[in-house]
Homo-oligomer: A and B are copies of this chain.
């Protein structure tokens, strides 16, 4: 890190900072500038102490030089990580599409949607059994019963299952049914939950928090890898900005950013990002063009009657058209998307 001294800092203050850096295990390197002195601190990049140093007299600010993540970094592992789930590989040449309803509502509903998304080329079925809802009065999911329906849908269709877990205690239960455990945007910095899914042995889909930088997102993934679970799939789903004509603002730049910084696969959720079914097609195509390894899309066969997120759900027909268009863009960027029908 770099310690920037105030213009008026005196020799004693500079020496005190250098002494403190030495005590912390860093080697200080002083550079006297025209207006002020800066001190480069060389040492273990995992030590993160910066703000405390700002309380030493004469210090103006501390600038970190090295990103604080290690295991998720492409520098540590230059080749792409491939996550295997059943017959599906995430992060390879073939794109992966996870599709299904926002929430598991009933068996009939689930199996109808599952069959239809499979027909159009989805290989993973999404569906919430535990739902994080802004209002305590909204539908909160079928919980354990929902997990069972998902497992039954897997048996009938061969689709693998991704579903969200909300608390550390429920990780074991959800992991018993799911093939991929989803950490939702609101829980991206629920560190106890991250550690728990880090120990569950199943691949983890880690959604980006609404107010999280790319660096914080990678640090959240680092929590999971630090527990020796290297099967993490990142999912961009939009960030919160002043623009309120969309539910969130899809930060499409995060896809190539992640690809440069990390070896982990990254997919995009155009449904939550845009918040409107009308935006799912263009955002899906943009995601693939920008280098995403796949998509996660909400599909409902009667969206106007959906228990949640109906406004952003595709019908199976919409989904089929989207998949055809997506396959063409995938081919244009050297990827493939198996479209069955």
Interface residues of A in 277-313 (CB under 8 A from B): 277-279, 281-283, 285-291, 303-306, 308-313
Using Cβ atoms and an 8 Å threshold, which residues of chain B touch A11?
none
Let me know if A223 is at the binding interface, CB within 8 A: yes
CB-CB under 8 A for A51 and B331, given A38-B65, A40-B33: no
The one of B48, B253, B282, B328 in contact with A255, judged by C-beta atoms closer than 8 angstroms, is B282
The one of B254, B279, B281 in contact with A257, judged by C-beta atoms closer than 8 angstroms, is B279
Using Cβ atoms and an 8 Å threshold, which residues of chain B touch A189?
132, 134, 186
Let me know if A94 is at the binding interface, CB within 8 A: no
Of the stretches A118-126, A154-162, A214-222, the one at the interface is A214-222
Fill in one digit per residue for A230-262: 1 if any B CB lies within 8 Å of its CB, else 0.
000000000111111110011111111100100
10 A-B pairs with the lowest CB-CB distances in the bound complex, closest first = A52-B310, A51-B311, A211-B211, A289-B289, A54-B311, A285-B289, A332-B332, A31-B40, A256-B282, A286-B286
Q: Are A249 and B255 in contact (CB under 8 A)?
A: no
Q: How far is the CB of A51 from chain B (nearest CB, A)?
A: 3
The one of B7, B273, B303 in contact with A55, judged by C-beta atoms closer than 8 angstroms, is B303
Let me know if A201 is at the binding interface, CB within 8 A: no
Q: Are A56 and B256 in contact (CB under 8 A)?
A: no
Q: How far is the CB of A299 from chain B (nearest CB, A)?
A: 12
The one of B34, B51, B257, B310 in contact with A51, judged by C-beta atoms closer than 8 angstroms, is B310
- Chain A positions within 8 Å of B, measured between CB atoms, are 2, 4, 7-8, 20, 29, 31-36, 38, 40, 42-46, 48-56, 62-63, 65-66, 68-69, 75, 132-138, 166-169, 186-187, 189-193, 195, 209-211, 213-216, 219, 222-223, 226, 239-246, 249-257, 260, 273-279, 281-283, 285-291, 303-306, 308-313, 325, 328-329, 331-333
Q: How far is the CB of A3 from chain B (nearest CB, A)?
A: 11
In the complex, which residue of chain B has the Cβ closest to the Cβ of A131? B191
A27 to B243, CA, bound (A): 32
A32 to B291, CA, bound (A): 34
CB-CB under 8 A for A256 and B278, given A52-B311, A166-B192, A285-B289: yes
Q: Are B33 and A42 in contact (CB under 8 A)?
A: yes
Q: Are B66 and A36 in contact (CB under 8 A)?
A: yes
Would you mind naming 8 contact pairs between A and B with Cβ atoms under 8 Å apart? A2-B65, A68-B134, A132-B189, A134-B219, A215-B245, A249-B251, A252-B283, A260-B278
